[in-house]
Amino acid sequence: MKARTRRLVLDAVLLGIIGALSAKVFIFLLGLAQEIFLHRLAGYIPPGLPNEGGILKESLSSRSPWMIPLATTLGGLLSGIIVYTWAPEAEGHGTDAMVRAFHRLGGYIRTRVPFLKMLASAITIGSGGAAGREGPTALVSAGIGSLYARVAKRPAEDRRLLMLMGSAAGLSAIFRSPIGTALFTIEVLYSEMEFEAGALIFTLLAAVIAYTAMGLMGICGPLFQVPPDLFVDVRQYYWYAILGVLSGPIGTILPVVFYGLRDLFLRIPIKPHFKPAIGALGVGIMAIWLPQILGGGYGWIQMAMDGGLGWKLMLVLLFAKMIAFPLTVSSGGSGGVFAPSLFVGGMLGGAMAGLAHLPPASFVVVGMASVFGAAARVPIAAMFMVVEMTGAYLLLVPAALAVLLSYLVQSLLAADLKYPSLYEFQVPNRAESAAHQEEFLQTALDLLLKRRVSIPETIGHLNLLVLLELGIPLELPDGKRLVIQTISAKSPWVDRPLKDIPLPEEAELIALVREDHLLFPQGSLTLKAEDKLLFVTSIAGWKELNRIFGGSRV
Note whether 511 and 518 are within 8 A (CB): yes
C-alpha span between 202 and 208 (Å, rounded)? 10
C-alpha span between 183 and 192 (Å, rounded)? 14
Residue 532 shares a structural domain with residue 452: yes
CATH of the domain at 513: 3.30.70.1450
C-alpha span between 231 and 125 (Å, rounded)? 35
Residues of the chain with pLDDT under 50: 452-465, 468-469, 471, 552-554
The alpha carbon of residue 331 and the mean position of all alpha carbons in its chain are separated, in whole angstroms, by: 17
C-alpha span between 436 and 433 (Å, rounded)? 6
Residue 110 shares a structural domain with residue 228: yes
Residue 400 shares a structural domain with residue 474: no
Residue 80 shares a structural domain with residue 184: yes
Structure confidence by residue, pLDDT tens digits, 138-175: 889 999 999 999 998 898 889 999 999 999 999 999 99
Note whether 188 and 234 are within 8 A (CB): no
pLDDT score for 476? 63
CB atoms within 10 A of CB 115: 18
Percent of the chain's residues with pLDDT above 90: 63
- What's the structural domain count of the chain? 2
Residue 451 shares a structural domain with residue 352: no
Question: Is 221 among the domain residues?
Answer: yes
Residue 239 shares a structural domain with residue 354: yes
pLDDT score for 48? 92
DSSP code of 394? G
Judging by beta carbons within 10 Å of its beta carbon (0-12, 13-18, 19+), is residue 166 exposed, middle or buried?
buried
C-alpha span between 397 and 175 (Å, rounded)? 21
Note whether 464 and 518 are within 8 A (CB): yes
Residue 172 shares a structural domain with residue 220: yes
Long-range contacts formed by 350-357: CB under 8 A, 24+ apart? 350/304, 350/305, 350/309, 350/311, 350/314, 351/311, 351/312, 351/314, 351/315, 351/318, 352/239, 352/242, 352/243, 352/246, 352/311, 353/311, 354/310, 354/311, 354/314, 355/311, 356/239
Which of 84-104 are b and which e, b meaning 16 or more Cβ less than 10 Å from the residue's Cβ?
beebebbbbbbbbbbbbbbbb
Q: At what angle do helices 237-266 and 311-329 cross, to 10 degrees?
A: 30
Handedness of CA 40, 41, 42, 48 (dihedral sign): negative
3-state SS string for 451-489: CCCCCCHHHHCCCHHHHHCCCCCEECCCCEEEEEEECCC
Phi-psi region of 528 (alpha: psi -120 to 50; beta: other; left: phi over 0): beta
Note whether 332 and 276 are within 8 A (CB): yes
The alpha carbon of residue 268 and the mean position of all alpha carbons in its chain are separated, in whole angstroms, by: 25
3-state SS string for 398-435: HHHHHHHHHHHHHHHHCCCCCCCCCCCCCECCHHHCHH
pLDDT score for 554? 40
Residue 400 shares a structural domain with residue 441: no
Contacts of 456 (CB under 8 A, 6+ apart): 476, 477
Question: Is 419 among the domain residues?
Answer: no
Question: Is 262 among the domain residues?
Answer: yes
3-state SS string for 173-221: HHHCCHHHHHHHHHHCCECCCCCCHHHHHHHHHHHHHHHHHHHHCCCCC
Question: In the listed set 363, 378, 413, which residue is the last one of a domain according to the structure?
Answer: 413
Question: Is 421 among the domain residues?
Answer: no
Contacts of 17 (CB under 8 A, 6+ apart): 209, 210, 213
Note whether 511 and 444 are within 8 A (CB): yes
DSSP code of 36? I
First to last CA, the chain: 48
Residue 482 shares a structural domain with residue 394: no
Question: Is 225 among the domain residues?
Answer: yes
The alpha carbon of residue 226 and the mean position of all alpha carbons in its chain are separated, in whole angstroms, by: 27
Of 534, 466, 459, 462, the closest CA to residue 503 belongs to 534
pLDDT score for 144? 92
Question: Is 40 among the domain residues?
Answer: yes
CB atoms within 10 A of CB 274: 16
Strand partners, 171: none
pLDDT score for 542? 82
Contacts of 329 (CB under 8 A, 6+ apart): 92, 93, 129, 131, 135, 258, 279, 335, 336, 337
Structure confidence by residue, pLDDT tens digits, 421-464: 999 999 888 877 877 766 666 665 555 555 544 444 444 444 44
Q: Which amino acid is at 258?
A: F
Residue 378 shares a structural domain with residue 508: no
Residue 43 shares a structural domain with residue 179: yes
Question: Is 482 among the domain residues?
Answer: yes
C-alpha span between 240 and 399 (Å, rounded)? 8
CATH of the domain at 269: 1.10.3080.10
Residue 343 shares a structural domain with residue 477: no
Domain that holds residue 344: 3-413
pLDDT score for 525? 80
Note whether 494 and 487 are within 8 A (CB): yes
Question: Is 418 among the domain residues?
Answer: no
Q: How many H helices and E strands in the chain? A: 20, 7
Contacts of 157 (CB under 8 A, 6+ apart): none
